[in-house]
Chain A
């Protein structure tokens, strides 16, 4: 899976590329509109991560060019709030998804995963974690073919942790994933614990959960 990261801030690009490379993606970096177009014209990319504020223009110009020539490439816009009027604007111009800065790398990973599933016609439907089978398409979980009844939020948490296995996921990351980018300052993210507790209770009936780790004061991790 080839990804072109268009971001003028080098260090941020490095962090993103570092994370994506560890997750098995092949990344290239472009720091301006012109470099990005150059790369797009010379290589095939599956996904374009596009920052809007670039030194030689707006990422929108790149997006427009891309949509004129290549319709297959998925585009995720990465932007600071304030550069864009609202979510709809970006999506109307032909972006597949939208992330506001600052974003969690794991959130980027989850969005990428969803987009790639879409591009490839839902061929990667199932996730298997310690005997649990997650059917991503219809939000169903089963253990040894015994269906487990999870709420939407519990499923989302399980899926997010499973997708980012072996990583510590903070409560904040989970909160943002479940409730979206809420503006409320210092929103107490502890009620995510209630859902995790319920999820663990439901999973615990089937097998021991020593791989479902609570990281003290921080968050959770699923180890594989």
Chain B
């Protein structure tokens, strides 16, 4: 667009200057000069003159008498002047002087113009780039400056806040009222969230107290009742089964409380955990149950990975996985605990040789109150807890299972992801 425009302007300018030259020449053209031309009367019947560098030329030719007389026209064509070929913009003007026809041609070299347009184009291009660069830089810095409070709000008020308790209420300095408003609204929102958090926490504490206290009473009453020597076997059985039910009730409540407290971030995760030691302790705890089923366990951990998290919770997580490996195993089966390091990530696998699951079962196991086999005991909360704890610690869990062959739970642990 621009180069075309420039070319047009330049051509127009040349045409204009050619016309001016023509006028000047015609005006100054008098008898004498024509006579000069006539007297010379040489064979070519041409008078021409040109500038030293051939950028311009002027040529007067006598035309045959009967040649067509036409007015001023502009043409562009190559001419050879002193064996140098050039493109010229030529003004042709035919006229009659003393009954003789003449053609006046005034040419202006186009090579110069082409050079000129090229230079202009180049110059414009450079200017364009400079403007572009300057605008870009200006914009970047200006926007950076403008959005500084915004980024600060994002950073200090949202990204770094995992807990409403740690929220910083100090207002962020900003020249713009928009950001001040955003800041204020965020503060309000966080106030509401932390109020809800506190209410929930209070609620959990109340529920545990209000539900577990009566359970404690019943349990104690039944236990005291059991000491009565006049009870017959039937009564003892009933008391024993009531105690079992109470125990189940207690554990369901405690498990639900545990999940809800994990999901409320009521735990800290800043202990360094020796997984090897933890697994060996679990092995000790579960030894009786494994012996009862004749299970063999091999814990071969090749790597030392000090995981940072909450020790109590990780203990519960591994305990639940190990208990599952025991519970759903076949008699005289195996449990294998192994690990590997891959791309800065630590993989811990617990495999059993148990009943396994099909795919649709495997996809449901982390939901609360799901049980794969109705004949198995338990409330289906174990793996829901595993899931909550894993999520809390940013641990990924992978389950692979083949029915009647076994199940493998793989934990993907990494310390880096907790940092953001």
Contact = CB atoms under 8 A, between A and B. Distances in A.
B240 A15 contact: no
B209 interface: yes
Contacts of A215: 236
B213 A82 contact: no
Contacts of B220: 12, 15-16, 19, 102, 104-105
Interface string B249-260: 011101101100
A209 to B, nearest CB: 20
Interface string B236-264: 11011001101110111011011001000
A215 B212 CA distance: 28
B208 A81 contact: yes
B273 to A, nearest CB: 15
B378 interface: yes
Interface residues of B, number: 57
Nearest to A191: B288
Given A86-B312, A101-B215, A106 B223 contact: yes
B161 interface: no
A217 B209 contact: no
B376 to A, nearest CB: 9
Contacts of A184: 251, 319-320, 323, 378, 382
Nearest to A190: B292
Given A81-B212, A191-B288, A185 B251 contact: yes
A183 B211 CA distance: 16
A184 B382 CA distance: 7
Contact of B244 (A15, A16, A172): A172
Contacts of B237: 217-218
B266 interface: yes
B232 to A, nearest CB: 11
B382 A102 contact: no
Given A15-B217, A185-B251, A216-B233, A102 B243 contact: no
A186 B327 CA distance: 12
Nearest to B312: A86
Contacts of B251: 183-186
B226 interface: yes
Contacts of A191: 288-289, 292
Interface string A65-83: 0000000000000001111
B216 interface: yes
A223 to B, nearest CB: 11
Interface in B285-326: 285, 288-289, 291-292, 312, 316, 319-320, 323
Contacts of A194: 288, 291-292
Question: Which bucket holds chain A's interface residue count?
Answer: 35 or more
Contact of B227 (A12, A16, A168): A168
Interface string A152-195: 00000000000000111010110000010011111110010011
B218 to A, nearest CB: 8
Interface string A114-127: 00000000000000
B257 to A, nearest CB: 5
B357 to A, nearest CB: 20
Contacts of A100: 212
B204 interface: yes
Contacts of B248: 185-186
Given A81-B257, A172-B243, A185 B205 contact: no
B219 interface: yes
B110 interface: no
Interface string A183-224: 111111001001100000000000000000001111100000
B224 A183 contact: no
A186 B288 contact: no
B207 interface: yes
Nearest to B247: A172
A104 B323 contact: no
A80 B209 contact: yes
Interface of B: 204-209, 211-221, 223-224, 226-227, 233, 236-237, 239-240, 243-244, 246-248, 250-252, 254-255, 257-258, 261, 266-267, 285, 288-289, 291-292, 312, 316, 319-320, 323, 377-379, 381-382, 385
21 contacts: A9-B214, A18-B224, A19-B220, A52-B209, A53-B213, A81-B212, A82-B261, A83-B208, A100-B212, A101-B209, A167-B227, A170-B223, A172-B244, A172-B247, A182-B319, A185-B252, A186-B251, A187-B323, A188-B377, A195-B288, A218-B236
Interface of A: 9, 11-12, 15-16, 18-19, 52-53, 80-83, 85-86, 100-106, 166-168, 170, 172-173, 179, 182-188, 191, 194-195, 215-219
Given A81-B257, A101-B215, A218-B236, 10 more contacts: A81-B208, A83-B205, A83-B208, A103-B219, A183-B255, A183-B258, A184-B323, A186-B251, A188-B289, A218-B239
